Every structure is written in C-alpha cells, then in structure tokens.
Chain A
C-alpha cells in the first residue's frame, strides 16, 4: 500500500538499542524500532522471538535492562501502563480485557468515567463514545452488552477504549487471531482510517498476508535479535518468512491425490448443550473416511468446540450417535474413545494437551502409562519410557534435544505442540482430531504440524480438522464442512472452496448444500 499518511519527518516512537534480560537470558538484544506519525508498523517474529517483551516495555509492563525509549522525541521512563497511557500509547491485548455484562459505553469509560458530583454521568459518556466511534468509522452500538456482541465488535470496543484514553499510538497484539475474513478486512479499513487521522499503529503478528495488506513497514526480530526493518512494498511473503525463521520456508502442503476409504467417524443427528445449558449442537451430521482430511470451517461459538468435546468424551451430549469404526462412543469416557480409535490434538495444549509440570517423557506416555513396556505390574519402567522419549524427541525434532527429563512447561509453544503431535501420531489410532493445531505457532512450526497431519491422511487415517484459520482449512482439507449454528450447512470439496464464499457461509449466508 502507498505510504500516503506516513510523515517520515515525525517519529513518534523510537526504541534505541533495547536490551532486556531475565536473569542471564537475553530476551531482547539490541532492538531498534522507529515508528512515524501515520504509520502502520508490523513487528514480525516467531514465538518467543521477543515481540511481546519488546511491546511490554513500550507499554510500561516491563522495564528495559538498557536502551532508551523516546516518545515524540522525548526520552521517557515508564514504570507502569499508566505512564504509557499518559504518553499517548494504547494497547489492545490478544485476549480482550472487557467486562462481559457491562455495555459498550460502560466498558469504554471504565476507570475514567465522567461524573456529575458523585454520580456517574453516563449521558456524557455515551455522547463521547458515539463521537469517537463516528470520527474513526468504528460503528458500534454503544448500549449493547459485551456478552451479546461478536469478537470483531469486542475488538472495536478495545480500540475505542484506547482512543478514548487519548492514545495516538496503538499497539495491537495479534489482532486478527480470532476474526473472520470479513472482520479482518474491516479491521484493516479501520486501521487505515486511524492513520489517516494521524494515529500510528504497531501490530504484532506472524501472519504474513496481513502484513502485506496493511503495514507500511515491518521490523523483524529473531531470537531476541534485531534482523531488519523493511519497506513492506519491497518484499514478498517468502522474503518475510525467511527473514523471520532464518531459512527458506515452503508454504505449499504436498498432498497426493488419494481415494478415501471406509467411513471411520460417523456422527449422526448429534445434539448437545453448552456450558450454560443452551443447545449448541443441533442435529449435526458428519462423516470422515479413511485417508481424508475433513476440515470444519466456522466462527468460534457455532458448536465446533462442543462437537469435539462430545466425540472425545469430555462432554455429554443429549442425543445422537458417534460411531468410530462402527462402535458407538457417544457419552462414553475419554479412555473408552481412545481404546476404540480416537486420538486428538486438543485446542488448548496447555490445559488439555499437557501436564506442564510433568517431564517430556511422562507427557509422551500420558495415555499409555499403564501399558507394556512402560509399566510392569503397575510399576513404571523408566528405561523404556526414556528410550521412547529419546526416539520421539529425535523423530519429531522436539527442541532442545536431550530434554527427556525437562518439564513440558519450559518448552516453547511450538515444541509443546510437537510433543502432543508425537504422542498422538504414535498412538496410531484410526481417527485423529486436530483442533486449531497451529494456533499461536510461527510459520516454521506450522509447516511442520501440517506435514504430520497430511502424513496421517496419507497413511490412511481419518483426520478431522477444526480450525479458525481459513487458510489452514483450505490448504489441508479434502472436504470442507461449514458449521453454522450447530449444524453442518455446507460440504464442499477442498479444491473448490474460496475464502469469500466460505466466509459468507460461516456467517450463515450464501449458498447452502
């Protein structure tokens, strides 16, 4: 995009030679960052590269070990986010910090409420909110409750909150991670409106496509070190990816043509309730055959989470059937499903996937600790357990090597995911369910995870892929099932899908199958 709003003569943020140490670990090692007025600046880096550490220093959550931060040309020291806010810096976190039962207006003014005497002056508050939202084209219903509005709308509220506090520089942390394609387009439009008005935006992301679409400049960080700042127009996605991971990255998933076999997973007329006791899966039908990947595309909250929980035995359904190779695992325990062929890569790897306090070797036998050769007469056999871990670490490139006895919690996100994949793939079950398997991972790790999922398909396993990343669904799936309002509303061969149609169907519109 053209840098039409960038004023190269007016730097608003200068971070000079920032070094941040935790003990003797160097998280940021001499990082420079300059952001100008009217600029959208992307910070790109792998997980653990030091992006968040850098931004947390800019937002006063962490103090640099050495180096200077200049805001509008003046050197400042920030002790807490309050100082950052006073300096005109606002941050929208990846996980929103909103009070669910409060209205949009109440959330935006929270902490800086206008008052009349001792009473809240909500009329003025509402007027101010409407004024700002109109000024930046962030249309929103000021009286809606947060719990009733979509994730994209909640993000607008977060942005408005920062603007309301007088932010001229906005830091957006992984802003697109839970948005639909349409919402992403809208967000990019909003960002352009903001820079037009002289604001500056820093986005932390590892999505290359969005950087290309929205940012003017991009600073790349790798393993705590400053790599480069590039003009986004001068580079392509491959250049960005190589700079980020330090080697060549292939995006294309190699997937041979293959005729699917027998039905492995057969979900029939499934109904279940969500945690509030409201029906969320409403008569869902789904089939996955041997040697195919079925991708479930849908916006979070349309029943996909509950669907997976019922299949894996974590949630009780109200009615229906879940046949795995002909055995009904509906409303049985997770271990029953496991014994009959269900393995899964859970959505929340730290909550469901791993026992973080346990060593890698123990996590690798989490379902098999009672089985030969890992246990004999109920006594754990450390030898075979260790050997199994060593082999898995080597085969699945879990880093650092030699970490058999390390706690899983000390690994990076990508390597934690590799531990889960190593475990589930080696369980060698007929059905593999993967839920957001690459969430929060960088391109290097994503490439790796995708390879293993496709490998399972090529080996004749049935794979059910649930993901909020449309790109992932589209590049991996043989069949894409669109879920909306607790039902599969369309089933499209993977090759024939396009992002716009899918996006529309996910939102309940478009053609139905």
Chain B
C-alpha cells in the first residue's frame, strides 16, 4: 500500500529540510538577480562566504548575530504562546534606550553592578512595553497587532526624544546620545582582541545569548509556566476550562517576550553600538527577530542557529559592494527564504502526506482529512 514518496512528500515531512530547501531557493533567486544584472554569481557568493569564514569574519558574524538571536527568541516565545509579538521592534528600542541611559547615568558604578543593572533596566522597559499592549488586549479586547505597531512608533519617537535630553545627548555635534560608560561595556579587552585577531567589537554578548537561549528553552519545554502559556496559545478555551487564568497567561507571555526584546536592545548597545543615534527610520532589529524566529521554527536552538545565519548574511552582505554587488541582494535572499517558509502549504498540497501523515487507530487521519476537505 505504500506509495513511492515524492519530492514534495520529503519536504513536507521534515521541517528542517523544508527550511534548508527554502534557504537554497533564496540563494537561487539571488543568483537569478545577479545574472540579470550581469554580475558574477561566483564572485558575489564567494565574497559572501569568504567574508564570514575567516576567524575575524566569523567573530564579526557572532557580534552581529547576538541581537538577532535574542530578538528572535522574543518573537519565538510569543509564537509558542499564541500571541504574535510584532512589537518586538518597539520593545527593542525602549530596551536599548533604557540600557543606554543606565549606562550613561550610572557611570560611577562598578562594572559587575552596572552591567546587570543595564540588563534589568532594558528588560523592565521591554516588559512594560509588552504589558501595556497586553492590558489593552485583555481588558478591552484591542487587537494586539494594531497596538503593537503603534507602540513601535511611540518607542521610536520616545527614543529620539530622550536622545535629545541634555543629560543624555552627545556633547559634540553628533545627533546621538553620549557613549555608555566603559563600566557598562561588554567588549573583550583590547589586548585580547588584538592578540586573538578578532573583530574590534567582539564582546561577551554571545555568552548571554546562549544562556538566554537555554533559559527560554527551559521555560517553554520544562516548566509549568511554559505548559500553561503553550496551552493558552494552542487552545485558550480548553486552557480556561482546565482552570488556567488565560488573561494572566497572555500578560505573562507578553511581558517575557517584551523583556527578551528589551534585552536584545541592551546587548546591541552594550556590545557594538555604544550609543543610540537620533534615527530617521526604524532600525528593524525587532522585525528581523520575526524573520529569525520563522527560520528557526520558533525553537530556541533553531533560533540560535537562524540568528547566526542572519548575522552572517548581514555582515557578509555589507562586504558585497567590494564586488560591485548592491547590498540589497541580501534583502532579496532573505525575502525569498521567508516567502518559501511561509508557503509551506504548497508543499503540503503537492505531497498529500499532510492528510495521511498522522494516523489514528481507526482513521483519525481520515477524519482530519475530511475536515480539511470540507473547509474547501
């Protein structure tokens, strides 16, 4: 009775293969663009690969990846718990601003005290940004996606406003904040960087990112809190019926997700950024977090790898103009990858395996299949 598995079956069956396939397609589409522009595909992709595989290049990739990983964890956490944290962008911004302010105003504090303080300030700011949206949702039923997008802009202008306050603003001509105190910096020592031949911005941030990945995984998979949040995310009615306080769960999920995004902001400024400029447009770390969470299948370890991949594209992409290739190529590749991940439906449609994959003893799959068919 077994049918020969088609190519599409193979892809639909395995999430990892599906993502890998999408990434390959992303590069293929990128290659088409290169070919149309008359540029050398080999030279462009060679440069991309070459720039991230050297020791120095790879240390850059890690530095770039840290905020993406943690922002990705923020979004992944929200996906797992049934809210879509499109507000990670705003939480990232308030988080980074809270860290910068703490890092400037707390300059007199010793390093072991100031760094955790900056983290806490950033996480608190991000969490508050998330909770406000959560309260709007649970108290008055305001759609969280809409309010989050608005709160992204509020965060953006608030950040620009704070950056202009005399106590915070750079004394020079730069339209930016002061640099954070040396005591709030997470950079490796200059001597170590020099002797090891790393990127000048190499910092401790990736250790924090790995720890946070582990904690996120632990909370989601191992704790009663994760159980509760996932139950609400998958079926809030059954969760409520089972005695779980749904509104409290939504608030908790948004607070944790917001805190993670805020922490991502802190890691960005305490690692490579040092200060925040007065921006004319949103930086997009939080939005990148959505992409990273998607590529990482909302699995914390997947997000860690996806964040590194994204960091590599960003860093490698910045070197592309050495080959005369526009850096926008990276956006084309990322866009294509996300597109193919998002249309997983198509593989399922061609495979048929979607219907028969999980069989109940007396035809559970059939019932599920019937349902799907009825919906058409």
- Answer whether A and B are interacting partners: yes
Give A contacts to B, CB under 8 Å.
21-27, 46-50, 52-53, 56, 61-62, 93, 223-224, 312, 314, 333-335, 338, 344, 346, 351-358, 362, 366-367, 369-370, 375, 378-380, 399-400, 406-407, 409-415
Given A23-B352, A48-B367, A53-B366, A410–B224 Cβ distance below 8 Å?
no
A278 to chain B, nearest CB (A): 21
Q: A156 to B243: give the CA distance in the assembly, Å.
A: 41
Q: Please list 10 pairs of residues, one from A and one from B, whose beta carbons are closer than 8 Å in the complex, sorted by A's number.
A: A23-B351, A48-B362, A52-B370, A224-B366, A314-B241, A335-B244, A351-B237, A352-B237, A352-B238, A378-B223
- Point out which of A52, A358, A412 has the most chain B C-beta atoms below 10 A from its C-beta: A412
Q: Which chain A residue shows the least CB distance to B365?
A: A25
A380 and B3 contact, CB distance less than 8 A? no
Binary flags per residue of B200-234, CB closer than 8 Å to A gives 1, else 0: 00000000000000000000001111111011001
Cβ distance B374 to chain A, nearest Cβ, rounded Å: 7
User: For the complex, would chain B's binding face be called helix, strand, loop or mixed by DSSP majority?
Assistant: helix
- Does B369 have its Cβ within 8 Å of any Cβ on chain A? yes
Known: A355-B230, A410-B358. 8 other contacts (CB 8 A): A27-B369, A48-B364, A48-B366, A56-B374, A335-B245, A351-B235, A362-B227, A366-B231
B-side interface residues, number (CB < 8 Å): 47
A334 cross-chain contacts in B, Cβ below 8 A: 240-243
- CB-defined contacts of B228 to chain A, threshold 8 Å: 369
Alpha-carbon separation in the docked complex, A335 to B231 (Å): 15
Q: Contact residues of B with A, CB < 8 Å?
A: 1-3, 9, 222-228, 230-231, 234-235, 237-245, 351-370, 373-374, 376
Given A357-B234, A369-B224, check contact A412 B363 (CB 8 Å). yes
Residue of B nearest to A353 (CB): B238
Q: Is the Cβ of A352 less than 8 Å from the Cβ of B241?
A: yes
Tell me the smallest distance from the CB of B107 to a CB of chain A, in Å. 38
Given the known inter-chain contacts A380-B227, A413-B367, please indicate yes or no for A23 contacting B357, CB distance below 8 A: yes
Closest 6 CB pairs of A and B: A23-B356, A48-B363, A335-B243, A25-B356, A22-B355, A399-B361
**Contact call B365/A370, Cβ cutoff below 8 A:** no
B370 with A412: CB separation less than 8 A:
no
Contacts of A53 in B (CB 8 A): 366, 369-370
In Å, the complex CA distance between A369 and B223 comes to: 9
Closest approach, in angstroms, between the C-beta of A55 and any C-beta of chain B?
10
CA distance A356 to B364 in the complex (A): 12
Contact in complex: A26, B1 (CB < 8 Å) = yes
**CB distance B373 to A415 under 8 Å?**
no
Closest to B235 in A: A355
Least CB distance from B327 to A in Å reads: 40
Bound-state Cα–Cα, A413 to B364, Å: 7
Say whether A25 contacts B362, CB under 8 Å. Answer: no
Residues of chain B within 8 A of A21, CB atoms compared: 3, 352, 356
Contact (Cβ within 8 A) B363 A27: yes
Contact between chains at B362 and A399 (CB < 8 Å): yes
Closest to B369 in A: A22
Residues of A within 8 A of B245 (CB): 333, 335
How many angstroms from the CA of A274 to the CA of B366 in the assembled complex? 35
**How far is A418 from B145 in the complex, measured between Cα atoms in Å?**
38
Q: Which of B9, B225, B364 has a CB less than 8 Å from the CB of A412?
A: B364
Which A residues are CB-close (under 8 A) to B234? Answer: 355-358
